[in-house]
Amino acid sequence: MLLFRLVKRNILVYTRDRSNIFFSLLSMLIIIGLMVVFLGKMNADSVLNLLNEYGGERDTVLDRSNAEQLVMLWTLAGIVVVNSITITLSMVGIMVEDEAQKRLSSFYVAPVSRWIFVFSYIIAAIAMGIIMCSLTIIIGEAYIVATGGIMLPIAILGKVFLYIVLNVFTSATMVFLIANFVHSQSAFGGLSTIIGTLVGFIAGIYLPMGMLPERVQNVLKCFPLLHGCSFMRDLLTKDILAKTFTNCPEELMNGYKEYMGITILYEGEAISTTIKIAFLVISGIIFIGIAALLQRKRNVMSR
């Protein structure tokens, strides 16, 4: 089947270029580096300060362990969502490279629908994104368990995989839409740098939501990336949050979840997971629709 061969070809092009893999994972490496150097300790210390101030008499050693695991899971959720953007962006970059190198024109000479070639880039991006994000979860969980943390239940990991699929789908369609406006490798390289820089801020990783001005928070709430990050964090940190904030007022935990972007408020009410999922699905469909219109216009102009 031609579509399968094209998808395989795009995946092989990506995996054979080690520099391509490295730069698509660069944002993740930066986040890990920042967490190891100072952000991880700072976030864990802020949890301990909250517990010491409002939690009454506490077991400091246990609180430290729980706080560190909470921060690691919170970070892991953000990394998975960031990878869903950077990996799919790198995969879609293959289309830009093919166009710049005139390979795409050669493909279009074949008596095959152009949509076969278009879908091959999107499907390859989704497949590679799911694989790499799943590996991120496996490696992250292995590290957490190796450092004394608790393994997530199988039921939770199953939901994590479904959330990965949803995030990757939305991310792939979004970056494919963006790539329709780029026709050279240099322009795409600049675009990748900008997105790689901004993605950590949009996902609320470099700076927690609570540290941002209200107007900035309202702008970020319009991005599917933040909602995808929110329900991934909520799923991964649910159990450890309950353990960390044991014997604490419920308002304390709710305030922390809002501050760290685990929950997102709209007009004072927390947005439900169902609405977040619907927002991502609808956004993905809209991205595909707009990209389809652009592709159709491009096809007409090239006749």
Task: Please name the amino acid found at residue 280.
Answer: L
Q: Which comes out higher in pLDDT, residue 174 or 24?
A: 174
User: Average per-residue pLDDT in the chain?
Assistant: 85
- When mean pLDDT is compared across 53-67, 136-150, 256-270, 271-285, the lowest value belongs to 53-67
Percent of the chain with pLDDT over 70: 94
144 and 40 in contact (C-beta within 8 Å)?
Answer: no
What is the CB-side half-sphere exposure of residue 233 using CA atoms within 13 A? 29
Q: How far is CA 77 from CA 23, 73, 92, 138, 161, in A?
A: 20, 6, 23, 12, 12
Bridge partner residues of 269 (DSSP) = 266
For residue range 81-137, list pLDDT tens digits in order: 889 999 999 898 888 888 777 776 666 666 667 778 788 889 999 999 999 999 999
For residue range 143-191, list pLDDT tens digits in order: 888 888 888 889 999 999 999 999 999 999 999 998 888 878 888 888 8
Task: State how far the Cα of 279 lies from the Cα of 281, in Å rounded to an integer.
Answer: 6
Task: Please name the amino acid found at residue 303.
Answer: R
At residue 301's C-alpha, the angle toward residues 93 and 99, to 5°, is 20
The residue range of the domain holding 129 is: 2-301
The neighbour count for residue 92, using CB atoms within 10 Å, is 28
What is the total count of domains within the chain? 1
| pLDDT value, residue 301 | 46
Taking the mean position of all CA atoms in its chain, how far away is CA 218? Answer: 19
3-state SS of 25-70 is CHHHHHHHHHHHHHHHHHHHHHHHHHHHHHCCCCCHHHHHHHHHHH
pLDDT higher than threshold 90 for residue 282: yes
